[in-house]
Structure 1
Amino acid sequence: MRTPNTGMSRAAVIGVTTLGAMLAPLDAALAHGGMTYPATRTYACYLDGKAGGQGGDLQPTNPACIAAVAEGGKNPLWNWFGNLISNAGGRHREIIPDGKLCGPTALFDAYNMAHADWPTTTLQAGSTITIRYNAWAPHPGTWYQYVTRDGWDPSQPLKWSDLEPVPFDTVTNPPINGTGPEGPEYTWTAQLPAGKSGRHIIYSIWQRSDSAEAFYNCSDVVFDGGSQQPDIEAPTTPGTPVVSGVTGTTAQLTWSAARDNVGVTGYEVYRLVGSTSERVASPGGTTVLLTGLTPSTSYTYSVVARDAAGNRSSASAAVSFTTTATPPAGDCKVAYSEPNKWSGGFTGNVTITNTGTSAISGWKLLWDYTGGQTVTNGWSAKVSQLGTTVTAENEAWTSTIPPNGSVTFGFNANAPAAHHLPVPSEFILNGTLCATP
């Protein structure tokens, strides 16, 4: 009787979580984006919470992030991209009082706190960097980046007078040409102010041009004032990709990570055809699930690493393989649905059915998201995501699927838009392609 009761309790908890997301304040529901490099306080604490959490929960270990969660809960972390005022209309200094710049609404007020342990990004003063801003739901507008004055007091919440009087960078309608761990990103180059050293805050304002809505980000940075040179050092070459799970239409590539003097921010996967190459994926991690391949066809791929300044490594050694003649007839069927959707996210349900004559003992299911969707938490399975590839592994109570039996699990995910996103078309169970309804 313990297993059914456990399942019921988990379903109840998730039901409350989903309802909470649907009843979140309007500002959270309208969330559209946030700076990922240099990382904002909310995004940095979200990443810290993911690293420290278990079972899909967020459990920060950084002292400042812990203090913020104790004061304001975890909703600002799940909605790290939602730090906004819906009717700002360019009136930023008029409507945001001193001390509230980093979190101008009640939901994000904890991120105004002055704390010596906010996660920081190390930058070189005077260098040119690539700013990355998550495009949760794209909109036109202008971004303004300010930096704190020399001699500002980091022991006090940020005031307008703490900022330099003019932005060091302004950009209108930058391109969405990057892909980060949380989906598509606006990227643009900016020259950092020269002569800065030590701890500072980069304060970003994104004012939409198609509405009065504006977004606010505080990114804690440490300037290395000893170098005025831009980052021109490219990452090292990634390891040769290793191919696995080859079927008639899919294959998985995995490679060893590149290194960089500042930090690798992502990879680009290229298909090579003769003397030409075509970029097919831009994962944030070191693995990608290739889908939509043609049976009995030879493929060759290589990988390039990139850093925040836009430097790219040399291409890795290439790997070649040939897809199988036809997709293997796996003894499994997968039903996928998205029963609940909201602005910026959705709930997904997956049912795996064993169509064979022997029990499946222990399972791992893979699929690929191509529209920027990112899984945040799951239940009745351990659900994780690396780049575009989602992996779901059985829990102890869902490990066995008897013949003609099924297991069902669910998850919540963020999405760049609430509708019209591509749904997964292929599912790989223990290396075998499953049928879909």
Structure 2
Amino acid sequence: MRKRIALLAVAAAVGAVLVHTGGTAVAHGSMVWPGSRTYLCYEDGRVGGGGGDLQPTNPACAAAVAQGGKQPLWDWFGNLISNAAGRHREIVPDGSLCGPTTKFAAYNLPRADWPTTQVTANSTVTFRYNAWAPHPGTWEQYVTKDGFDATKPLKWSDLESVPFDKVTNPPLANGEYAWQARLPNKTGRHIIYSLWQRSDSPEAFYSCSDVVFGGGTGTPDTTAPSAPGTPVASGVTGSSVKLDWAASTDNVGVTGYRVYSGGQVVATSATNSVTVTGLSADTSYSFTVVATDSAGNASAASSGVAVRTSAGGGGPTGSCTVAYSRPSTWNGGFTANVTVTNTGTSALNAWELVWDFPAGQQLSQAWSSTVTVANGRATAKGVSHNANIAPGGTASFGFNATTASTPADPTSFTLSGSSCAIR
């Protein structure tokens, strides 16, 4: 088993070197309104998974997972080419516009059942683009031509010849770029194709947002939803809290909610309830909620609720040890192997390991666990074969990451809210 793990780590490290041939990929983001395919499939998977693993129920999203696995959803913000340098039409072939690399190729599937966003033709809306790692650059938004057939592969010739919207260095707040744009006069189903070309790097990002235009020359919806009710916290553990709030109202309809803490989005939900995970034990947080509608209007924030996570959760304090190693390091990246040992007398079920993930590091891939990174902290969850750790047992996993500097090993770990010894 040790030989197998070592071979997997080497293979993964070699794969990372082959993929990142155009420089260190440190910027990440994707359109969140109107949502890109990867973002909406990620959100669909979160709902289908009940807050645990991603289990998309939308047929197109499920087909994409069947073809390309779930990692593209965990990395929904990383649909990029690192050495594009503005050569989009030269290096991205027809049929690959929505997923120009092997990792995201499944999101090119020509289907008419991708998740859609309802929009109003000729209306002024607020585009929102996730800024997982902010960088200067220019965004261009194209729309498909009249008569576009969603059941055929998207080609460059399917797009209008000029972008209907173009912006350079839009405002950045709360982890998102946001800017106003006027939508074109279209009807029915279309794709809004967004290109983000960084100005400080040749790296470029690509996203397809499936939309349904309605309203013709109708009056734009500029009315924001009412503020949500003050969240009520329950089920507080060392790493999570459940929040419920009174729903917002809107003249057209509320489409979702964003939960903020410390100025960052820490959770999203299509309903007025969500469980926030990945929190630190024995730590104070304040949460507020913002509602959004189909035109991208955002409500005022709710009043805040203060929560302090418990000192432990999921097992006795000090009932775990973590062995962390870097068997491979290269210019711009590294491989890490992690082994968690249950030193307590009770099983650790559905474990979650949390550690600091320094700025300048970006997760590339993970194996034998599901790893997510948010707000400078990484959270690893066991998969089907190692989700539970018996007393005296271990669970091992690994990951690859890119880095802008010499990587530093983590100095602390918490397992389901309990502090672990490091060996």
TM more than 0.5: yes
The letter for the 1-side match of 2:256 is V
- The equivalent residue for 2:232 is 240
Q: Which of the residues 356, 380, 399 maps onto 2:389?
A: 399
- The equivalent residue for 1:267 is 259
Distance 1:232 1:201 in 2: 25
CA contact (8 A) 1:174 1:187 kept: yes
- The equivalent residue for 1:390 is 379
Deviations 1:31-76 (A, max 9, x none): 843424133334545666777799x998866544566677778886
- The equivalent residue for 1:196 is 186
- The equivalent residue for 1:24 is 19
| Correspondence list, 1:162-201, <5 A | 162-179=158-175, 186-193=176-183, 195-201=185-191
Q: Is it true that 1:132 corresponds to 2:129 in the alignment?
A: yes
Q: Which of the residues 361, 367, 370 maps onto 2:347?
A: 361
The letter for the 2-side match of 1:303 is T
SS in 1 for 2:244: coil
Cα distance, 1:87 vs structure 2: 4.5
The letter for the 2-side match of 1:361 is A
Judged with a 3 Å threshold, the aligned counterparts in structure 2 of structure 1 residues 259 and 369 are, in CA distance, closer, same or farther, namely: farther
- The equivalent residue for 1:229 is 221
Deviations 1:226-258 (A, max 9, x none): 662135114523532347456xxxx75442367
- The equivalent residue for 1:217 is 207
Judged with a 3 Å threshold, the aligned counterparts in structure 2 of structure 1 residues 376 and 224 are, in CA distance, closer, same or farther, namely: farther
Cα distance, 1:284 vs structure 2: 2.3
Give the fraction of aligned pairs with identical amino acids, expressed as a percent.
39
Distance 1:430 1:94 in 2: 48
Q: Tell me, which stretches of 5 or more residues in structure 1 are unaligned? A: 180-185, 270-278
The letter for the 1-side match of 2:30 is M
- The equivalent residue for 1:154 is 150
SS in 1 for 2:30: strand
The letter for the 2-side match of 1:33 is H
| Correspondence list, 1:250-265, <5 A | 252-256=240-244, 259=247, 261-264=253-256
Deviations 1:356-394 (A, max 9, x none): xx6343353442546576696542x67677885725459
- The equivalent residue for 1:39 is 35
Cα distance, 1:24 vs structure 2: 3.4
| Correspondence list, 1:74-113, <5 A | 81-84=78-81, 86-89=83-86, 91-93=87-89, 101-103=97-99, 111-113=107-109
CA contact (8 A) 1:127 1:231 kept: no
Judged with a 3 Å threshold, the aligned counterparts in structure 2 of structure 1 residues 212 and 427 are, in CA distance, closer, same or farther, namely: closer
CA contact (8 A) 2:174 2:264 kept: no
CA contact (8 A) 1:31 1:344 kept: no
CA contact (8 A) 1:245 1:432 kept: no
Judged with a 3 Å threshold, the aligned counterparts in structure 2 of structure 1 residues 104 and 14 are, in CA distance, closer, same or farther, namely: closer
Q: Which of the residues 266, 272, 286 maps onto 1:283?
A: 266
Distance 1:44 1:106 in 2: 20
Deviations 1:257-286 (A, max 9, x none): 6756443353112xxxxxxxxx36531253
Cα distance, 1:121 vs structure 2: 2.6
The letter for the 2-side match of 1:283 is V
Q: Is it true that 1:143 corresponds to 2:155 in the alignment?
A: no
- The equivalent residue for 1:273 is none
Q: Which of the residues 179, 189, 197 maps onto 1:207?
A: 197
CA contact (8 A) 2:354 2:415 kept: no
CA contact (8 A) 1:28 1:82 kept: no
CA contact (8 A) 2:228 2:291 kept: no
Using the size of structure 1 for normalisation, the TM-score is 0.68
| Correspondence list, 1:292-307, <5 A | 301-307=286-292
Judged with a 3 Å threshold, the aligned counterparts in structure 2 of structure 1 residues 376 and 263 are, in CA distance, closer, same or farther, namely: farther
Judged with a 3 Å threshold, the aligned counterparts in structure 2 of structure 1 residues 114 and 432 are, in CA distance, closer, same or farther, namely: closer
Deviations 1:285-316 (A, max 9, x none): 5325555978xxxx573433354544343124
Cα distance, 1:350 vs structure 2: 3.2
- The equivalent residue for 1:428 is 414
- The equivalent residue for 2:272 is none
The letter for the 2-side match of 1:84 is I
SS in 2 for 1:196: coil
Distance 1:146 1:79 in 2: 23
Judged with a 3 Å threshold, the aligned counterparts in structure 2 of structure 1 residues 132 and 233 are, in CA distance, closer, same or farther, namely: same
Distance 1:93 1:10 in 2: 40
- The equivalent residue for 2:117 is 121
SS in 2 for 1:241: strand
Cα distance, 1:110 vs structure 2: 5.8
Judged with a 3 Å threshold, the aligned counterparts in structure 2 of structure 1 residues 109 and 365 are, in CA distance, closer, same or farther, namely: closer
Q: Which of the residues 396, 412, 418 maps onto 1:409?
A: 396
Distance 1:362 1:292 in 2: 16
CA contact (8 A) 2:281 2:418 kept: no
Deviations 1:79-118 (A, max 9, x none): 65244372443x5456666655445567766655532123
Judged with a 3 Å threshold, the aligned counterparts in structure 2 of structure 1 residues 343 and 239 are, in CA distance, closer, same or farther, namely: farther
Cα distance, 1:16 vs structure 2: 4.7
Cα distance, 1:29 vs structure 2: 7.4
| Correspondence list, 1:288-367, <5 A | 288=277, 291=280, 301-307=286-292, 309-319=297-307, 330-340=318-328, 347-353=335-341, 359-363=345-349, 364-367=351-354
Distance 1:259 1:194 in 2: 32
Judged with a 3 Å threshold, the aligned counterparts in structure 2 of structure 1 residues 410 and 259 are, in CA distance, closer, same or farther, namely: farther
Q: Tell me, which stretches of 5 or more residues in structure 2 are unaligned? A: 269-274
The letter for the 2-side match of 1:349 is N
Cα distance, 1:202 vs structure 2: 0.6
Aligned residues between the structures: 396
The letter for the 1-side match of 2:112 is A
- Report which of the two structures shows the higher radius of gyration computed on alpha carbons: 1
Report the RMSD for the aligned CA atoms in angstroms.
Answer: 4.8
SS in 1 for 2:205: strand
SS in 2 for 1:23: helix
CA contact (8 A) 2:10 2:328 kept: no
Cα distance, 1:428 vs structure 2: 3.3
Worse-superposed segment, 386-395 or 149-158 = 386-395
Cα distance, 1:201 vs structure 2: 0.9
